A and B are shown apart, each in its own frame.
Chain A
Amino acid sequence: MFSPVFAVTLSFGYLAFLFAVAFFTDRLRPHHKQSLVGSPVIYTLSISIYCTSWTFYGAVGSAAKNGLEFITIYLGPTLVFFAWWTVLRKMIRIASQQHTTSIADFISARYGKSARVSVLVTLIALTATTPYIALQLQAVATSFEALISTPTLSIRSSNFFGDIGFWVAVIMAVFVSLYGARLIDAKEQHAGVVAAIALESIVKLFAFVAIGLLVIFGLKLGTQGSPLAPEQLNQASAQVLSLRGGGALRWTALLFLSSAAVLCLPRQFQVTVVENRRERHLATASWLFPTYLFILCLFTVPIAITGLRLLPGSDPDLFVLSVPLFSGYSNWALFAYIGGLASATSMVIMASIALSIMMSNHLVMPLILRFEALGLSRSTDLTRVQILVRQANIAVLLLLGFLYYYLSRSNEGLAAMGLIAFAGVAQIFPALIGGLFWRDGTEVGALAGLAVGYLLWLYFLIFPTLQDTGWALVAGIPDPQGLFIAMDVDPLVGALFWSLSLNVLAYVSLSYASKANALERLQSAYFVDVFRSRRLGESALYERSAAVGDLYDLTQRFIGRDQTYRAFRSYAERQGIRGHLPKPDQNLVPFVERLLAGRIGAASARVMVASIATGETISMDAVIKILDETQQAIEYSHALEQKSTELEAIADQLRDANEQLKALDIMKDDFLSRVSHELRTPMTALRSLTEILTDTDDLSQDEQQRFLKVMAQESKRLTRLLDDILEVSRLESGMGVKLTDTVNPMQVMRDAIAVVEANASTAGVKLVNALPARWRLRALSDSDRLQQVFVNLLSNAIKYNNTPNPSVVVSAEKQDSYLLLHVQDNGPGISEKDQKTLFTKFSRSWQDVVETTTGSGLGLAISKQIVQQMNGEILVRTSLGQGARFSVKLPVFKAGSIEAADARAAMTASIKPE
């Protein structure tokens, strides 16, 4: 036995040590803090607050009373972390993106940031946590009492202040509010607390394992120095290892309860989801946490067996403490006591923080903010108010816990109180899981399910525990426990079955019966599809605007001056603006709302922002368009199709361009090779004849004259060739033709005929002028160039006409606003194939036809260019053996008409810029 002073000192010493750990962790430099709290092991250890004094003391008690049933409490979380860790991952992803602060906030966010949902979830959590906290108080009080055994303090004292539990509650309230509520972080992450909690998890594991090792190796499972026969050992073992209890139904129910609890308990949500810093830490937790549970589970059995053998008849919930105490290992008992204290404090700390956040965000602050009369809601810095509210909440919570403990203390074991709490939070489970996976769950459905489950749970499980206290004032309500027992159903199983069945029924049926609003649908899609890459922007749905200054002031009131300054400045920085006031854009209002949500919850943040933001409109069309997954998929694939069609079109264009380039390349090669040929031919003659003239001494006068004449011809030919090449290139670049003369094309043709008449008679070609005399037509043209074209055509027709009776006929024809001048010969004609390349430079086939003496072979190419620049064209109609008709088609107008001026203007406008 220990003196009360010693026990109290020890307890305070431990608490002070914890506080120091939390304090100094928060004082660490950010990167040290990060490397400590940012480790997956710390994360896993903090999750181990799942194991409270219920598991520390109560599991052994449960094993002694009900056999292996206690395993289910470990098995549920194990299954969740092993098999369902993807669900946790989903929750973590959503929570971090939505700046979720608590489970109530999380669920309310899912159902359209509904304030009503958050209030209801908070109420359920508060009610369910109350017996849980009572359980911890009872465990600490009982263990303290066992440790000191003094008559002055008792857990059965009839006045408040004489009860150990009261003092435990007071001390814890002070302790928790000292640091849990002091720290207000935008994401509600508490590094110091997490470090302390992780340390507590190590302490309780070590303590429990130590006691386990003590009973196995020190006490030989109670056989050491004991007169009891081995068969009694077997009997105790059989009792602990039995599968007694409520049978398969109860086991299933317990398994479900513990699974649901590890997801829904506010403090588990806090450590697993809110305090999570890296999603991948979950991977470590998914095996390390079950391992932790397995170790605890493993040592529960020997401690229970030893307790049953050594201390039959004593309270099995205290075996962990009483076995070492009464077998001469009292120092070990101290260790066990510290372990139990660690289990209890860690639970109370975390549950208080989680619940105080929920209570202040969802119950108290919204009320305060509505009291305009208090003068709070416009200008006051609310961060201090928030802290006070949270500290008050913690006090209230522990007071409630104490009251429940005080009023119901006589009738329930630790495990039973724990299970009642579990059944309470399990009412959140349908709305939570449905919200994560079921698109159609609505706010109304969630409210209905939660309310039905909550009320039934109160009636079935809370009400009976308070019956003896006189609190059950409503007379005439049948005792539900009695009902279940009468029906031969385990009361817990019955209560759980009915409350959850009706909860789910209400949730599903009312979800179907009600219509989700735009925000609900948005959030629903967001939660269910969080892992799809597409992030829905609220800004796409809402057109909200607010003055930047207003938003700044609002934010400052809730998260404080410094944090607001930093947040706004970094937002402005992202916009490339110096200073702390960003440009208002479509994301600013949602940004502020998220900032506030991290402090006061999504629902309250929404209300606050709405109070200053104006012009909020929701386009249902936009909502449907964005949310309809099928539509999205269709649009997406449609867009892809369009893209690929565009790509194909571009590829086609490229192919065409490539073909053109290839053709141009071939033409260029052809041109060069043709130029080379055309240059080399006169050069060859010149060189060869020069050599003859120099090398031959005995040349006759005649020969000399003849050769020199050929050389002169070839020189001229060279010059002409060079001129033509230059001209083609000039014409091709759009130069060389000036449309400044108003000419009569027929007169130009007559002049051209006069030029070639001599040649024609020399060649014996009959030249016929069939031009009409009276047409007074004019064209805007360049008369010299036009004459050059006509001369070229006439010359060709004369030169290449090798028929016996050669003739060339020149005629004219009107076609709309065009004049056609025809040059028809009765020569050999041009094959269809050759016509295609007729107008290209040095057309080889043309060369084949027209052959020799033609000058450069560039004549037609030049003519074509000239006529094109006069906005006309050269046409050819011919077939092999039928002669050829070349026609120049020119736009004309009547001489002296009004059109003349217009045409002149129009043509000038259509000339290529030079």
Chain B
Amino acid sequence: MQPVVLVAEDETSIVESLNFILRRAGADVRISYDGEQAIRDIANVRPHAVVLDIMMPRKDGFEVLKATRANPDLAGLPIIMLTAKGQESDREKAEALGASAFMTKPFSNAEVVATVMQLAGQRLADCQASAATAPAADG
């Protein structure tokens, strides 16, 4: 089974490359172009990992992160933050809000792929495990 990765990013050129490299790495990639859409999509799609840009229209990445972490259904969802500002205060804020990883633009493709796929694969495995054990527990 393919892990599902949601990319929340407003810059189409970056979406283009992220979409390409993650697909090639074996992920099912979905795109959100602004913060509000991202919150909706995360709840609906239930991806195995989220690549989240910080500076986005409507709602920024921090708000999306906060909203996601506030949803108990989404506990344990890996969220990889992307920032173009490279400020240390952004990293601290992201960690405090519960981001799983933090990457600065411009990023290296290999690094992004490795981080995202590792977290997404882990999440996929966890989901499958709990799906397998849950009926056993019921029965």
Q: Assuming A676-B85, A677-B84, A688-B18, is B13 touching A682 (CB within 8 A)?
A: yes
Q: Does B87 contact A (CB under 8 A)?
A: yes
Asked whether A692 lies within 8 Å of B57 as measured between CB atoms, the reply is no
CA distance A680 to B14 in the complex (A): 11
Q: Does A661 contact B (CB under 8 A)?
A: no
Chain A stretch 685-707: residues in CB contact (< 8 A) with chain B:
685-689, 691-692, 695-696, 703, 706-707
Asked whether B11 lies within 8 Å of A677 as measured between CB atoms, the reply is no
Interface of A, secondary structure class, is helix
Asked whether A696 lies within 8 Å of B24 as measured between CB atoms, the reply is yes
Q: Does A714 contact B (CB under 8 A)?
A: yes
Asked whether A710 lies within 8 Å of B13 as measured between CB atoms, the reply is yes
Measured between beta carbons, the chain B residues less than 8 angstroms from A784 are none
Measured between beta carbons, the chain B residues less than 8 angstroms from A713 are 13
Q: Assuming A687-B106, A688-B21, A688-B107, is B57 touching A681 (CB within 8 A)?
A: no
Q: Assuming A677-B55, A688-B107, A692-B20, is B84 touching A714 (CB within 8 A)?
A: no
CB distance from A802 to the nearest CB of B (A): 12
Measured between beta carbons, the chain A residues less than 8 angstroms from B109 are 688, 691-692, 695
CB nearest to B21 among chain A residues: A692
CB nearest to A853 among chain B residues: B12
CB distance from B47 to the nearest CB of A (A): 21
Q: Does A848 contact B (CB under 8 A)?
A: yes
Q: Kindly supply a per-residue 1/0 record for chain B positions 66-93, scoring 1 wherever the CB is within 8 Å of any chain A CB and 0 otherwise.
A: 0000000000000000001111000000
CA distance A676 to B87 in the complex (A): 10
Q: Does B105 contact A (CB under 8 A)?
A: yes
Q: Does B58 contact A (CB under 8 A)?
A: yes
CB nearest to B53 among chain A residues: A681
CA distance A703 to B16 in the complex (A): 10
Q: Does B17 contact A (CB under 8 A)?
A: yes
* Interchain CB contact (< 8 A) of B17 among A680, A692, A847, A851: A692
Measured between beta carbons, the chain B residues less than 8 angstroms from A684 are 11, 14, 84, 105-107
Q: Does A769 contact B (CB under 8 A)?
A: no
CB nearest to A717 among chain B residues: B13
Q: Assuming A847-B57, A848-B58, is B106 touching A680 (CB within 8 A)?
A: yes
Asked whether A681 lies within 8 Å of B21 as measured between CB atoms, the reply is no
CB nearest to B35 among chain A residues: A848
* Interchain CB contact (< 8 A) of A683 among B58, B106, B110: B106
Measured between beta carbons, the chain B residues less than 8 angstroms from A682 are 13
Asked whether B14 lies within 8 Å of A677 as measured between CB atoms, the reply is no
Size range of the interface on A?
A: 20 to 34
Interface centre among A685, A706, A847, A852 (most CB of B within 10 A): A685
CA distance A710 to B19 in the complex (A): 14
Asked whether A683 lies within 8 Å of B105 as measured between CB atoms, the reply is yes
Q: Does A234 contact B (CB under 8 A)?
A: no
Q: Does B44 contact A (CB under 8 A)?
A: no
Asked whether B20 lies within 8 Å of A685 as measured between CB atoms, the reply is no
Q: Does A673 contact B (CB under 8 A)?
A: yes
Q: Does B41 contact A (CB under 8 A)?
A: no
Chain B stretch 20-59: residues in CB contact (< 8 A) with chain A:
20-21, 24, 34, 55, 57-58
Asked whether A680 lies within 8 Å of B16 as measured between CB atoms, the reply is no
Asked whether B84 lies within 8 Å of A685 as measured between CB atoms, the reply is no
CA distance A703 to B17 in the complex (A): 11
Q: Kindly supply a per-residue 1/0 record for chain A positions 546-557, scoring 1 wherever the CB is within 8 Å of any chain B CB and 0 otherwise.
A: 000000000000
Interface centre among A688, A707, A851 (most CB of B within 10 A): A688
Asked whether A714 lies within 8 Å of B86 as measured between CB atoms, the reply is no
* Interchain CB contact (< 8 A) of B11 among A685, A687, A847: A685
CB distance from B38 to the nearest CB of A (A): 14
Measured between beta carbons, the chain B residues less than 8 angstroms from A710 are 12-13, 16
CA distance A847 to B55 in the complex (A): 10
Interface centre among B18, B55, B57, B108 (most CB of A within 10 A): B55
Q: Kindly supply a per-residue 1/0 record for chain B positions 87-125, scoring 1 wherever the CB is within 8 Å of any chain A CB and 0 otherwise.
A: 100000000000000000111111000000000000000
Asked whether B16 lies within 8 Å of A676 as measured between CB atoms, the reply is no
Q: Kindly supply a per-residue 1/0 record for chain A positions 649-692, scoring 1 wherever the CB is within 8 Å of any chain B CB and 0 otherwise.
A: 00000000000000000000000010011001111111111011
Asked whether A851 lies within 8 Å of B85 as measured between CB atoms, the reply is no
CA distance A684 to B84 in the complex (A): 8
CB nearest to A683 among chain B residues: B106
Measured between beta carbons, the chain B residues less than 8 angstroms from A687 are 106-108
10 A-B pairs besides A681-B84, A684-B11, A688-B18 with CB distance below 8 A are A680-B84, A681-B14, A683-B106, A684-B14, A685-B17, A688-B109, A691-B109, A692-B109, A707-B16, A714-B13
Q: Which B residues contact A (CB, under 8 angstroms)?
A: 10-14, 16-18, 20-21, 24, 34, 55, 57-58, 84-87, 105-110
Q: Which A residues contact B (CB, under 8 angstroms)?
A: 673, 676-677, 680-689, 691-692, 695-696, 703, 706-707, 710, 713-714, 847-848, 851-852
A-B contact pairs, 10 of them (CB 8 A): A673-B87, A677-B84, A677-B85, A681-B84, A684-B107, A685-B13, A685-B17, A688-B107, A713-B13, A847-B55
The 9 closest A-B pairs by CB, nearest first: A685-B13, A688-B17, A680-B84, A684-B106, A684-B105, A851-B57, A687-B106, A677-B84, A691-B109
